[in-house]
């Protein structure tokens, strides 16, 4: 690792745990969103990365959604939160069990109001019940429908069926967002070369009706961004 990579890693670890501590305890939904957004903007600013949003006018102020995004980078949740920061949406991310136990992200993930997904569990009823409780309190739910980071050369990998089930069970309109820029490549450029003025473009698509079963969620998502 270069000296810059070491410095960036140490700072990111410090910042992540600092905000993990700030998120500990009881917070209103607005406060939790504000703290997470402060973390996202602070870290991306340090990385010299800005976010440009296309199609933000398609999002209703204070709307409640299932937010579906593609996923290539560990900073993707930060990008999505920054993109929607002025829309009054309090959203909770679905997080894998591995993140809860992560040395780097564990404290932040546990305290940030995430919904735990334990893929090793024989029963998923508690997962869907937890989501229903969060939605009943006014939260939106954010999910990476591919299930894990896409490290392939394909634009998208196969969507998991859980996202569409969540939307249907909770009657949530689906807000598709597409991170057009390969954020993993941008992150690498920042960390390895300390490049300035980096930019990531994210596109907001037209809503997908949770009742629409004429296409799979993946096909509907692709059609919104001309990825067919």
Q: What is the CATH number of the domain that holds 99?
A: 3.40.1130
Which residue ranges in the chain fall short of pLDDT 70? 122
Give the full edge-to-edge strand order of the sheet including 49-54: 49-54, 198-204, 174-179, 66-69, 140-144, 91-96, 115-117
pLDDT digits (tens, 9 = 90+) for 73-92: 999 999 999 999 999 999 99
Residues 69, 144: contact at Cβ < 8 Å? Answer: yes
Per-residue pLDDT at 122: 66
pLDDT digits (tens, 9 = 90+) for 153-195: 999 999 998 999 999 999 999 999 999 999 999 999 999 888 9
Backbone phi, then psi, for 57, in 5-degree steps? Answer: -65, -10
- Residue 206, both tokens: 């037209």
Alpha helix ranges (H) inside the chain: 3-22, 29-46, 76-83, 97-100, 106-111, 125-136, 162-170, 183-193, 217-224
pTM: 0.95
Backbone phi, then psi, for 195, in 5-degree steps? Answer: -70, 140
Find, among 54, 91, 72, the residue nearest to 177 by Cα: 54
Per-residue pLDDT at 8: 86
Please name the residue that has the structure tokens 């969540």. Answer: 166
Residues 144, 93: contact at Cβ < 8 Å? Answer: no
Per-residue pLDDT at 97: 87
Residues 204, 54: contact at Cβ < 8 Å? Answer: yes
- CA dihedral (223, 143, 139, 84) in degrees, to 10, reads -60
Cα–Cα distances in angstroms (integers) from residue 164 to residues 42, 52, 66, 146, 170, in the given order: 33, 27, 9, 12, 10
d(CA 120, CA 30): 32
- Whole domain around residue 47: which residue ranges? 3-224
Residue 199, strand partner residues: 50
- Residue 187, both tokens: 């992150």
d(CA 164, CA 161): 6
Residues 71, 163: contact at Cβ < 8 Å? Answer: no
Per-residue pLDDT at 72: 96
Per-residue pLDDT at 11: 92
Residues 146, 158: contact at Cβ < 8 Å? Answer: yes
Number of domains in the chain: 1
């Amino acid at each position: 690792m270069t000296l810059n990579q070491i410095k960036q890693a140490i700072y990111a670890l410090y910042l992540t745990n600092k905000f993990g501590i700030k998120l500990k305890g009881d917070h209103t939904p607005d406060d939790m969103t504000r703290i997470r957004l402060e973390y996202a903007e602070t870290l991306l600013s340090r990385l010299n990365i800005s976010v440009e949003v296309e199609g933000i006018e398609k999002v209703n102020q204070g709307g409640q959604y299932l937010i579906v995004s593609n996923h290539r980078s560990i900073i993707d949740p930060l990008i999505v939160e920054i993109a929607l920061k002025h829309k009054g949406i309090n959203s909770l991310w679905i997080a894998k069990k591995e993140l809860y136990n992560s040395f780097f992200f564990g404290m932040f993930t546990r305290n940030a109001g995430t919904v735990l997904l334990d893929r090793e569990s024989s029963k998923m009823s508690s997962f869907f019940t937890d989501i229903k409780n969060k939605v009943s309190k006014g939260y939106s739910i954010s999910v990476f429908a591919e299930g894990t980071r896409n490290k392939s050369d394909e634009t998208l990998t196969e969507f998991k069926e859980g996202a569409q089930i969540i939307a249907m069970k909770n009657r949530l309109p689906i807000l598709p967002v597409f991170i057009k820029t390969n954020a993993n490549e941008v992150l690498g450029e920042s960390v390895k070369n300390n490049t300035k003025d980096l930019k990531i473009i994210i596109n907001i698509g037209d809503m997908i009706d949770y009742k629409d079963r004429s296409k799979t969620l993946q096909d509907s998502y692709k059609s919104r961004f001309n990825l067919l």
